Amino acid sequence: DFIETGLYTGMRVSEIRNLSWDDIDFVGMKIRVRNTESFTTKSKKDRTVPLHPKLAELLTLRAQVDHSPFVFLRNDMKQVDTGTANKKFKEYCDVAGLDSRFHFHTLRHTFASHMAMSGVSLYFIQKILGHRSIETTARTYAHLQPDPLLSAVKGLKY
């Protein structure tokens, strides 16, 4: 569930480990990534991430049996450690025969890359990922977008 949350949101491992049930709006289909007394986002700004329907389904099932404040806790009811999450992800990659260079942050890149390849604007990708500048987003994902000039011309209706 932790890994799927990364894949469907592009959230950083530290953001997922600090995700509380209060941050998930199942009606509005969004997740609030926010600063708290014990956690600060990389950009130091709150943001909203759309809640993918498949992730909403998964988290709804989880919410029915989980009554703790955080979405993801260890068996001893403490927060998931980022190092442990990264290590577990690597173990799953090894078992699946995936490239050993993959790490948890790869899920963030996968999420953003697929959005870019689907034609989502770099501006929206920037906002969802929480990048401070569009240049950061463009430098990493612009080459993956469909040819915007061709799309612009195809959009002409005369």
Residue tagged active-site, from 42, 45, 74, 139: 42
CA 43 vs CA 9, 65, 142: distances in Å: 17, 33, 21
Strands in the chain per DSSP E? 24-25, 30-33, 47-50
- Residue 123 bears catalytic tag: no
Q: Catalytic residue among 8, 12, 17, 34, which?
A: 12
Active site residue 158: no
Q: Is 141 marked active-site?
A: yes
Q: Which of 54, 105, 132, 139 is catalytic?
A: 105
CA–CA dist 35, 93 (Å, integer): 31
The one catalytic residue among 8, 17, 34, 108? 108
Please, what sign has the CA dihedral across residues 20, 18, 128, 102? negative
Whether 131 is a known active-site residue: answer yes
Q: Please identify which of the residues 90, 103, 131, 158 carries the catalytic annotation.
A: 131
Region of residue 77 (left: phi > 0; alpha: psi -120 to 50; beta: else): left
Selecting among 45, 123, 141, 143, the annotated active-site residue is 141
Is 108 noted as a catalytic residue in this protein? yes
Q: Enumerate the active-site residues.
A: 12, 42, 105, 108, 131, 141
